[in-house]
Amino acid sequence: MSVMTATQRPPAIASKLADRRFVILLAAGVLAAIVLVSFFAPVSEDNDPSPTTYNNGSAGIKAAYLLLNRLGYDAQRWEQPVSGLASVDARKTTLVLANPIVPPAMRDEVKAAIAGFLERGGRVLVTGVQGAYLIPGAHTTSPTQIYTALCFTTPEGQGALARAGQVSIDDTARWSDVTPASRVQQRCGQDAVVVSFRVGAGEAIWWSSPLPLSNRGLKEDASLRLVLASVGEPGRRVLFDESLRAANASIWDTAKGLPIRSLGLQAALVAVLLVLSFGRRSGPVRLPVRAVRGSPLEFAESMGHLYQKAGATQVATEGARRRLLRFLHERCGVPQPMLKGSPLEIVEQLQARLGGDWSGVGEHLRQAEPDGGKPLSPATALALVKALDGDLEQLRRRVEFSRSE
């Protein structure tokens, strides 16, 4: 019996083998491209706002963690429970708490551990409102003015933190209890945003925001000088706390920075190509099922005739009024209780916050208020809706212009 060679195979079998080789080679090429892109393509997303040493985005503090090691500090991540601070040599250690997240049930325990660390001569750098809750004697409140952009601070006094110079920082909170025990080092306008004060044998330093410590803020010379003045002299042990974030961490946190979404999309594309290369030839041939549906315009016209027949012009004007009130609260900062008052009070709030004459907004809001009387005519309701939408667009341009200044 003779053995069939490759040249003696039937044409159908030879064609299938060639197709399989082609698909295998195509899949291998795509897989190689995915691997190369995964290793060498830069990260395109920067949407992680957490100031941690694992975050290499603009809001992370990984650059400060690595830089301090190069400058002679013993920078480490602290991922143990805060009770472990009792075994640390506090006089030679600085603890960094960048916007810590502490569950209410643990707040007293964490505060006591940090207080003991300070009493033994430790140094603590803490940021944000939540961080201030953990330091004995810290008192913060809301800022006195609204900043639509970063604040450039004004140094105060001759302290080491003031000599860092003018830094960029978010004025999200201010120090409210300025006493001889607390030394204001930097201000945003009238708001104290960088403060140092003694606690026992140690020293606590509070910033209103971790921005100078972040990867984005550390590019400025003044921010770097402020960081170095806050952590203390070289040679100290600097502990970047990560333990107060473990409760909110997930299994995907370790994969941050990798193009996981891109890998998934490319793998799905390869799978689709493989299915189409074989399924198109071997799958059953069927006509697509077409679902008979009415036109969307038919539904819109029916609803329009229904509202016209009922004379429900108040529905349109009320919808435009609510859109404007929601914008006044969310983007213009008008308090919710004030929106329930008279249009004159709303106009006064707008003039105080944005400047200019907004009396037209008040007049349109007054006309759109439901009074239970005779409904508006379609022409009048249409004009009022256009006027309210025009007011909203004018306010949006004013808010965007204020933020760009």
Phi, psi of 237 (to 5 degrees): -85, 125
Q: pLDDT > 70: what percent of the chain? A: 81
Per-residue pLDDT at 178:
67
User: Which strands sit side by side in the sheet containing 93-97, from one edge to the other?
Assistant: 74-78, 237-241, 93-97, 123-127, 202-207, 191-199, 182-188, 154-155
Mean pLDDT, rounded, for 176-195: 85
Q: CB of 82 within 8 A of CB of 243?
A: yes
pLDDT value, residue 282: 60
- What local confidence, expressed as pLDDT, does residue 220 receive? 92
Rounded Cα distance between 279 and 174, Å, is 65
CA distances from 398 to 3, 123, 329, 347, 354 (A): 86, 45, 15, 15, 8
Written as six digits, the tokens of 168 are 């960029």
pLDDT at 62 over 70: yes
Report yes or no on whether pTM surpasses 0.85.
no
Q: Exposed/middle/buried for 379, CB within 10 Å: 0-12, 13-18, 19+?
A: exposed
What pLDDT band is residue 158 in, cutting at 50, 70 and 90? confident
Q: What is the pLDDT of residue 3?
A: 44
Question: 165-204 burial, b for 16+ CB within 10 Å, e for fewer?
Answer: eebbbbbbbbbeeeeeebbbbbbbeebbbbbbbebbebbb
* pLDDT tens-digit map of 97-142: 999 988 888 889 999 999 999 999 999 999 998 888 899 888 888 8
* Residue 47 predicted with pLDDT over 60: yes
Q: Which of the pair, 51 or 333, is modelled with greater confidence?
A: 51
Asked if residues 59 and 48 have their Cβ atoms less than 8 Å apart, the reply is yes
Distances (CA, A) of 403 to 21, 64, 147: 59, 29, 8
In one letter, which amino acid is 191?
D
54 phi and psi angles, rounded to 5 deg:
-90, -15
CA dist 73 and 231 (Å) reads 9
Structure-token match 């965007």, residue found: 400
One-letter-per-residue 3-state SS of the chain: CCCCCHHHCCHHHHHHHHHHHHHHHHHHHHHHHHHHHHHHCCCCCCCCCCCCCCCCCCCCCHHHHHHHHHCCCEEEEECCCHHHHHHCCHHHEEEEECCCCCCHHHHHHHHHHHHHHHHCCCEEEEEHHHHHCCCCCCCEECCCCCCCCCEECEECCCCCCHHHCCCEECCCCEECCCCCCEEEEEEECCEEEEEEEEECCEEEEEECCCHHHCCCHHHCHHHHHHHHHHHCCCCCEEEEECHHHHHHCCHHHHHCCCCHHHHHHHHHHHHHHHHHHHHHHHCCCCCCCCCCCCCHHHHHHHHHHHHHHHCCHHHHHHHHHHHHHHHHHHCCCCCHHHHCCCHHHHHHHHHHHHCCCCHHHHHHHHHHCCCCCCCCCHHHHHHHHHHHHHHHHHHHHHHHHHHHC
Query: Tell me: domain 62-249, CATH 3.40.50.880, correct?
Result: yes
Q: What is the pLDDT of residue 381?
A: 84
Q: Which residues pair with 93 in a beta bridge?
A: 237
pLDDT band at residue 182 using 50, 70 and 90 as cut-offs = confident
Tokens of 98: 């960048």
- The residue type at 390: G
Question: How much is the mean pLDDT over the chain?
Answer: 82
The pLDDT, as a whole number, for residue 288 is 66
Burial letters 12-33, b for 16+ CB under 10 A, else e = eeeeeeeeeeeeeeeeeebeee
Residue 206 has pLDDT above 90, yes or no: yes
Domain with CATH 3.40.50.880 in the chain: 62-249
How far is residue 348's CA from residue 332's CA, in Å, rounded to a whole number? Answer: 13
CB of 76 closer than 8 Å to CB of 239: yes
